[in-house]
Structure 1
Amino acid sequence: MQSPLATTLRPLDRLGAWGADIPLRLFLAWEFLESGLEKWNGENWFAQIHDAFPFPFDRLPANLDWQVSMWAELIAPALLLLGLGTRFASAVLMVLTVVAIAAVHWPAHWSSLGELAMGYSISDNGFGNYKLPLIYLVALVPLLLKGAGRLSLDALLRRRFA
């Protein structure tokens, strides 16, 4: 005999098996697509910060980095929405986010963990502002590890060709 709690939670378990990843996919797709569209409609400002890019991206021309970043932020979110190549799209966005943290959001100078912790914020008060990209990075981890779930083109293709 099942406990009343298990009986009560059974519908949530079923729903979770089908759609627990969907809020993450929607949230991340929106955030990255918005950034990609800003690049599409904006001017390339990567030349101003290109020295802060980590290897190997600092070795590429700033225009190429801009194009790669823009297209990654336009294509990978579409893949997340569809649940197609979700693990690949998540990995691409994770690399993009690490580069963004290193080049834009990480504090330029810090001498203690206390100062570094002050950069865990949304607005930059001289100590960086890596909170939001770190949230994106953490939100991408389940999609990288588990994939898109049952309600996705990945799952449909897996069922079709398995």
Structure 2
Amino acid sequence: MNSVALSPIRNAFTQLDRLGAWSADLPLRLFLAWEFLESGLEKWNGENWFTDIQSAFPFPFDLLPAGLNWQMSMWIELIAPALLLLGLGTRLASAVLMVMTVVAIAAVHWPAHWSSLAELAMGYSISDKGFGNYKLPLIYLVALVPLVLKGSGRLSLDALLFRQKA
């Protein structure tokens, strides 16, 4: 193809690049905010079941009282999503959610017993059939990585408050 024929395609990608500079992170922020807020509201309205799994928490969280772990988890899942929605402190909020998700995978979603990689792979699912269910939290971790690495983009309070003057 010649360059004249590619011109509309290049133009379309240029427009997508401009749009992406402003809003590429927004779907991730909205998705993650919804998912974590939903979990936080379940904790807000539910009973503390962390006492049943306290021994499964990784260090140093296994040393903390179950009630404190419950409160920290609940408040992180209520506050960090609000920050993601606003695009305020996005990198910090995302990093905190990543730590909390790793703790949740270790304490709740990782299979209790597995003897082979094939058994471990069976835990890569949404429902727990005795092999764990770490697929969804792993998806959250992967989705949080770009927000930690790149921040919230231009359509955010971070960009508005910390705009670099040229």
Common topology (TM > 0.5): yes
Number of positions where the alignment pairs a residue of Structure 1 with one of Structure 2 = 162
Q: Which residue of 1 aligns with 2:49?
A: 45
Determine which of 104, 107, 110 is the counterpart of 1:100.
104
- Unpaired segments of 5 or more residues in structure 2? none
Question: For residue 152 of structure 1, what is the aligned residue in structure 2?
Answer: 156
Distance 2:13 2:36 in 1: 33
Instruction: State which of 59, 75, 82 in structure 1 corresponds to 2:79.
Output: 75
Which one-letter code corresponds to 2:85 in the other structure?
L
Aligned-residue offset at 1:8 = 2.0
Structure 2 residue 37 is matched with structure 1 residue 33 = yes
Show the counterpart of 1:131. Answer: 135
What one-letter code is carried by the residue in structure 2 that aligns with 1:33? L
Among residues 128, 138, 144, which one is paired with 1:140 in the alignment? Answer: 144
Q: Who wins on radius of gyration, i.e. which is larger?
A: 2
Letter in 2 for 1:48: D
Q: Deviations over 1:135-157 (max 9, x none)?
A: 00000000000000000000001
Percent identical among aligned pairs is 81
Corresponding residue of 1:65? 69
> What residue identity is the alignment partner of 1:60?
L
Deviation of the 1:161 alpha carbon: 7.3
With the length of structure 2 as denominator, give the TM-score of the two structures. 0.94
Residue matched to 1:7:
11
What secondary structure does 1:110 align onto? coil
TM-score (structure 1 length as normaliser): 0.96
Rounded to whole Å, the distance in 2 between the matches of 1:161 and 1:53 is: 45
Which amino acid is the alignment partner of residue 112 of structure 2?
A
1: CA distance, partners of 2:152 / 2:164:
16
Gaps of 5+ in 1: none
Map of 2:24 onto structure 1: 20
